[in-house]
Amino acid sequence: MSLTRRGFAGGAVAAAAFALLPRSPARADLRLDITRGQVQPVPIAIPAFAGGGAAGGDIAGVVSNDLQSSGLFRPLDPHSFLQIVSAGSQPDFADWKPLGAQALVTGSVQEQGGGQLQVEFRLWDVLAAQQLAGFAYTTTPANWRRVAHKIADAIYERITGEGGYFDTRIVYVAESGLAQSRVRRLAIMDQDGANNRYLTDGRYLVLTPRFAPSAQEIAYLTYATGQPSVFLLNLDSGERQSIGDFPGMTFAPRFSPDGSRLIFSRSEGGASNIFTLDRGGRQVARLTSGDAINTSPCYSPDGGRIVFNSDRGGSQQLYVMSASGGGVHRISFGSGKYGTPVWSPRGDLIAFTKIDSTSFYIGVMQPDGSGERLLTQDYLVEAPTWAPNGRVLMYFREGPMNASGGGSLPQLFTIDLTGYNKREVPTPGGASDPAWSPLLR
């Protein structure tokens, strides 16, 4: 009994001693779910690239402008920078954190033998103190803008995880003069408005230029032969050629995603129908028939389907069919008219122009017609074209004509899919019918 009691007492003492022992830390991780964030541009510091004289600052300026135009980056004021970064060494991140920079771009420009320019850059994560990307480019000095766009693309891809679109070009219809005597010329420029040059002289009306997937060729509508017909223009050689003699007008051309075919509309009396032209064998195939106006065809990025607009149901609406012309079904059911559908390069959306009794809209919907969203509205907005990454649309806007027949010339704008980041694209004069090239190679 006493033994038991003593044992009990000993156990109690032991238990008390155990309780009094410093407990080893539990080290259980605290789990927290972060389900919200801030949709705001990433602050990024882009100091002038070292070396290369003015080119160092110019390249940094182009990179900065590209990233800012995307709406996803906020380049910091270069005057606030505390240090000069020498290329090739790790920057002192303590100098960049107080500025609020999350990312830092350092780079250098070196002239090499043979008149070549070597441009290096590195992208740093300021907060994690590590390099995120780094590339070097060798090119001719005249090509420095393309190098800057490529650097901006690399930064965009690394920070957002999506493809960039800065090393691209825009072909468009440059417009000048009054509305009655408007001169329209084909023009091409970099995506940011630089390096503008004209491709036609303005003697004939030109409309709806479209890039081939190679970005080396353009299909467009011209009145050069007296009636509207589709021509091809080789950007390298400057050579122009008709796609062939067809009865009636040909218009609304586009290339297939692999570039092997051209799809277009042809007028047949009061009707219009959609045809494809195999560029190798020059065979023509009919995809639609009937008395309706079927036009503005555009392939899906996989080449399997075609979206177009048609008034076969009474009003102009969007329809999708297979690439061989079967399985036509309507996808737009809203009020008003729908036109100029363009399939997104990433396949998830179709952009369109919508017209109701009061105004024009640029919008997007899913390929099955659901999820319609209108991104912008104006007196006249038309002709959406996608950036290669499928996140930004370019279109043109034109104001009303005044009493004397004059009026505002059309202008190019970009808007991103959120609808918040709308920007004017600088052009020397009026501009309409833009077409965004694929990424240059």
Partner 1 sequence: MSAITIERGAAQRAAQSRPTPEIMSSGLVLSAALHVGLIAVIVLGLPSLFSPPPPQETPIAVELVTIAPETRATHPNPYRPRREARPIPAIAPPAPKPKPELRPQPAAATPPAAAPPPPPPPKPQPIETKAPPPVPQPKPDFAALEKREMPRPQTRRPDDRAFDKLLDKLDQRTPDKPTPQPARFDALLKNLTQQDAAADDAPPSPRQIAAAAEASSQPKAPLGSALTASQKDLIIEQIERCWDVPAGARDAKDLNIEVKAVVNQDGTVREAAIVDTARYATDPFFRAAADSAKRAVLNPRCSPLPVPADKYDAWHNLDLFFNPKDLL
Residue nearer to partner 1 on the CB measure, 191 or 309: 191
Whether the Cβ atoms of residue 115 and residue 141 lie closer than 8 Å to each other: yes
Q: How far is the CB of 33 from partner 1 (least distance, A)?
A: 5
Residue nearer to partner 1 on the CB measure, 121 or 264: 121
Residue nearer to partner 1 on the CB measure, 271 or 417: 417
Structure letter (DSSP) for residue 313: T
Separation between Cα atoms, residue 324 and residue 297, nearest integer Å: 13
Q: How far is the CB of 391 from partner 1 (least distance, A)?
A: 6
What sign does the CA torsion over 397, 67, 81, 39 have? positive
Residue nearer to partner 1 on the CB measure, 254 or 391: 391
Q: How far is the CB of 427 from partner 1 (least distance, A)?
A: 11
Whether the Cβ atoms of residue 331 and residue 307 lie closer than 8 Å to each other: yes
Residue showing tokens 């202008």:
411
In terms of Cα–Cα distance, which of 167, 190, 160 is closest to 44?
Answer: 160
Q: How far is the CB of 112 from partner 1 (least distance, A)?
A: 11
Residue nearer to partner 1 on the CB measure, 325 or 429: 429
Q: How far is the CB of 367 from partner 1 (least distance, A)?
A: 14
Residue nearer to partner 1 on the CB measure, 12 or 136: 136
Residue nearer to partner 1 on the CB measure, 74 or 279: 74
Q: How far is the CB of 223 from partner 1 (least distance, A)?
A: 28
Residue nearer to partner 1 on the CB measure, 122 or 185: 122
Per-residue b/e over 113-144, b at no fewer than 16 CB within 10 Å?
A: eeeebbbbbbbbbbeeeeebbeeebeeeeeeb
Residue nearer to partner 1 on the CB measure, 295 or 411: 411
Residue nearer to partner 1 on the CB measure, 149 or 312: 149
Structure letter (DSSP) for residue 80: G
Q: How far is the CB of 82 from partner 1 (least distance, A)?
A: 6
Angle CA 356–322–374, to nearest 5: 25
What's the token pair of residue 97? 């954190």
Whether the Cβ atoms of residue 97 and residue 35 lie closer than 8 Å to each other: no
What sign does the CA torsion over 267, 271, 272, 275 have? negative
Whether the Cβ atoms of residue 252 and residue 297 lie closer than 8 Å to each other: yes
* Whole-number Cα distances in Å, 201 to 58, 184, 198, 226, 281: 32, 8, 7, 16, 32
* Whole-number Cα distances in Å, 401 to 220, 222, 301, 358, 408: 26, 24, 37, 16, 7
Q: How far is the CB of 340 from partner 1 (least distance, A)?
A: 22
Q: How far is the CB of 402 from partner 1 (least distance, A)?
A: 22
Q: How far is the CB of 190 from partner 1 (least distance, A)?
A: 10
Full strand arrangement of the beta sheet holding 305-310: 294-299, 305-310, 317-322, 329-330
